[in-house]
Amino acid sequence: MNTSRILAWLLVIWLLGSCAYLQGVSKQDQLLQSLKNKPLQYTVKHLIERDSYFVYGRLSGAASVTDRNPLAIAALSDKYQKNEIVDINHLGKVGSYYGLNLPAGKYRLLVLEDKNQDGIYRETEVVGQHPLDIQALSDQWKVVGDVDIRLDDSIISTLPELAIPVAELATAQSSLFYPRGTIRSLEDPIFSKQMATLGMYDPAAFLENAPMMFYALEEDTFYKVPVIFVHGIGGIPNEFRQIIDGLDRRRYKPWFFYYPSGMDLNQLAEMFYEIFLSGNVVQKGTFDMAIVAHSMGGLVVREALNRYLGNGKENSVRLFVSIASPFGGLVSARSAVEHAPLVLPAWRDLSPTATFIQQLFRKPLPASVKQYLIYSYRNKGGRGDSDGIVPVYSQLAMTAKGKIAGQYGFQATHTGILQDADAVETVIELVARVKNIFPEEHLNYLTRGGFAVPLDSSYTMLEKHMIQSAGLYLRALATGDLKPMPFNSHFLAVIQGSDTPVNPAETAWLKFRKDFPDLARRQ
């Protein structure tokens, strides 16, 4: 029996002997029995071998509906039980995106606002609704996008009595730019290994706790380059801590694609494309993006890059660093598919003979993308070697399939490579090649912040943010203390009166200069 076959059998034995896996098998059996005794769409959603769909859209309209009260988006079905609540997202935010995870069927999507702040969503607190037929709208990737809901607090509900508790998550940290609850620390319980395991064996339960899949460590800042971190199967953002700690955080901002890793890889790739690349969710920005992906995450990203349309609306990716990614698939995954009683959709896609692996390099990378491949090994790094999980030949399959900018090998285990000092230093150096357009002198002013003064209601929230977070930078430009760059020309034309303002920085400074003339002058 050859080495790869032995590794395959060892992995299957390990899977079948792990508590989490055995609990997953038991839970799936219980769900099947429950579906037989009392059919519910909620139960169907949790069956790992049944299709479920990612549904996303934006909440808009109704100036009277604000973020002062908790908002939730609920999906109701009549398929098995009248007004069954199949999924609910407690992170609603006006002007931002929501996400739901639903099996095929017809739904009423309701936006609920806790108007009286009694901790209960009731039928009289519906401020938005939308019919949805997933069977009619879904595509082959099982993602249903652009399901936008216009809010209207004058809706007269025809629902029977509702009493849905407001979740504690509804009070999660808010953001001017991101969906509610997406700013987290690396120590947040949502990023625990228990949650990651849940994402393997019960993706629906994972998405009930972490429905957005986009996360950040700080409020958005317009002058930083996004670096998107993508974990592998059973992985968490905290695994990238040493790389993140080494980044120049004045120039780069970490983002995370945090997803249920047991799911279908095509579906996950489509969601990665929609969230980060399409320009539909994360709006097209000034900077090129960098992506750092470990293990299976590299496959998700590579497939997402196949979805590029080149339509001018998409975000630009400059750098893609894959780390210990099984681009040639895993024989162990094929053995698990053939022998395990519970088969994760991700395993099917990881098999070397799977359509996903066979078609992964069907398109070249977009012209803007430079990919660097980092591989790990235990012994001498030959093609027959492995890092304990992924054979070297599978990690290097990319070199035979498509053009890469460079490759680096390190003697480390599959997960240990993320803590290997030399590998970490290499990733940080590669990310540093994605240049920030702001020179050092400008960054020095930007990182100093702004003015902690009371601003009245004539300022929008974005204008207040600009004064409070970047006011010193705006003043330095306006007074000539800072040599302007070409991209500052319109701001200078506005404050000199030769052009009209078009963004919050410009309108904010005009108001601030009038209201606080002493602070606006050269100091």
Query: Per residue in 331-350, pLDDT tens?
Result: 888 877 887 788 899 999 99
Structural domain contains residue 126: yes
Q: Are residues 350 and 417 in the same domain?
A: yes
Give per-residue pLDDT as tens, 260-273. Answer: 999 999 999 999 99
Say whether both 470 and 397 belong to one domain: no
Reply yes or no on whether the pLDDT at 188 is more than 60. Answer: yes
Contact 324, 375 (CB under 8 A): yes
How do residues 441-465 score in pLDDT, each as one tens digit?
999 999 999 999 999 999 999 999 9
| Same domain (yes/no): 120, 146 | yes
pLDDT at residue 6, as a whole number: 47
Is the pLDDT assigned to residue 139 strictly greater than 70?
Answer: no
Asked, for residue 495, whether it belongs to a domain, the answer is yes
**Residue 68 in domain:** yes
Domain boundary among 140, 171, 202: 171
The per-residue pLDDT for 48 is 92
Looking at 137, 171, 205, the residue that finishes a domain is 171
Q: Which residues contact 458 (CB under 8 A, 6 or more apart)?
A: 511
Residue 221 lies in a domain: yes
Give the per-residue pLDDT at 396. 93
Residue 418 and residue 166: Cα distance in Å, rounded? 39
Same domain for 299 and 248? yes
Q: What pLDDT shows up at residue 175?
A: 84
CATH code of the domain containing 79: 2.60.40.1120
The residue segments making up the domain with residue 163 are: 53-171
pLDDT digits 0-9 by tens, 502-519: 999 999 999 999 999 999
Q: What is the 3-state secondary structure (H, E, C) of 499-512?
A: CCCCCHHHHHHHHH
Check pLDDT > 90 for residue 125.
yes
Same-domain pairing of 244 and 365? yes
Based on the domain organization, do 310 and 371 belong to the same domain? yes
Ranking 44-48, 125-129, 285-289 by mean pLDDT, the lowest is: 285-289
Top-confidence residue, 383 or 474: 474
Is 6 domain-assigned? Answer: no
Give me 60's structure tokens: 């808009």
Residue 49 reports pLDDT greater than 50? yes
Instruction: Grade residue 1 by pLDDT with cuts at 50, 70 and 90.
Output: very low
Cβ-in-10-Å burial (0-12, 13-18, 19+) of 19 comes to: exposed
Query: Is residue 320 domain-shared with residue 292, that is, in the same domain?
Result: yes
Give a yes or no: residue 48 inside a domain: no
List pLDDT tens digits, range 191-213: 999 999 999 999 999 999 999 89
**pTM of this structure:** 0.93
Claim to verify: residue 468 and residue 507 sit in the same structural domain: yes
Cα 501 to Cα 474, 486, 489, 494, 497: the distances in Å are 14, 17, 12, 6, 9
Average pLDDT over residues 359-369: 93
- Please say which residue of 377, 412, 431 terminates a domain: 431
- Tell me: do 286 and 243 sit in the same domain: yes
In a domain, 251, yes or no: yes
Residue 22 domain-assigned (yes or no): no
Number of structural domains, the chain? 3
Q: Are 213 and 123 found together in one domain? A: no
Q: Are residues 426 and 501 in the same domain?
A: no
Q: Are residues 354 and 280 in the same domain?
A: yes
* Residue 158 confidence class, pLDDT cut points 50, 70, 90: confident
Q: Which tokens is 168 given? A: 């504690």
